[in-house]
Amino acid sequence: MSTINIAIDGPAGAGKSTIAKSVAKELGYVYVDTGAMYRALGLYFLRNHIPAEDTAKIVKSLPEIDVTICYENGEQIVMLCGENVNGLIRTEEVGNMASRISPIPEVREKLRDLQRGLARKENVIMDGRDIGTTILPDARLKIFLTASPVVRAKRRYQELLERGVECDLNEIERDIIQRDEQDMSRAVSPLRRAEDAVLLDCSDMTVEETKNKIIALLAEA
Ligand code: DC
């Protein structure tokens, strides 16, 4: 029996993971956060002092980096070489590194098979940058979720504050705009709306409204 997949792409801080998690819970789907996989690789290179510009070294070390996913009480756990790194990958530094290494084709290839394998096994709602365009071109429903940069920066700011991380709103907004540029301008699998994706601007929508909209769109798909 084939699985039903939902793809959610969009820029940093649009609320993809919050929305995808709540849709997954309501529908009993598995939530797959692909950004966390790029972040785990980013963490590995930061820890090993391998700069994002050193493509040759990055490509050479890829075979020795083991990234896997498991689920505990419905929560996705990213394992990096056997270590649960969930608590270490949510910093702006790691997010930036993830964005800087994500244009490398070999990096994307490494994670592509892991992502497609998960979607073949279960009904998933998967979020990222190239899910609708590249990873799951046959997804039942594709959403391109966005919000204005100011709203996205405020949401990120709030999220970091709640986790007790000290941060500066203007710096976050600058960082978000720079990361969008990086993710949209890369040659391989850039962030872009798939032709058959529904554009959803959730700047003025609550999580509940956005979730309900996606569930209604799935019923129509
Ligand atoms: O969604 P996030 O902020 O956790 O993602 C971190 C970075 O990883 C993002 O800036 C670009 C990269 N990424 C990607 O290139 N493709 C994906 N499917 C997911 C993330």
| 129 Cα: distance to centroid of ligand 1 (angstroms) | 6
Question: What is the per-residue burial (b if ≥16 Cβ within 10 Å, else e) of 14-33?
Answer: bbbbbbbbbbbeebebbbbb
What percentage of the chain's residues is helix, strand, coil (to nearest 5)? 50, 15, 30
- The finding on whether 102 has its CB within 6 A of some atom of ligand 1 is yes
**Alpha carbon of 12 to ligand 1 centroid (Å):** 8
pLDDT tens-digit series, residues 93-142: 999 999 999 999 999 999 999 999 999 999 999 999 999 999 999 999 99
CA distance 177 to 98: 15
The pLDDT value given to residue 194: 96
- pLDDT tens-place string over residues 58-89: 999 999 999 999 999 888 999 999 999 999 99
Cβ(132) – ligand 1 distance below 6 Å: no
Helix, strand or coil, per DSSP, at residue 141: strand
Q: Identify the structural domains of the chain with CATH numbers, from first to last.
A: 5-220 (3.40.50.300)
CB of 12 closer than 6 angstroms to any ligand 1 atom: yes
pLDDT band for position 203 (cuts 50, 70, 90):
very high
Task: Quote the Cα angle for 19-21-27, to 5°.
Answer: 100
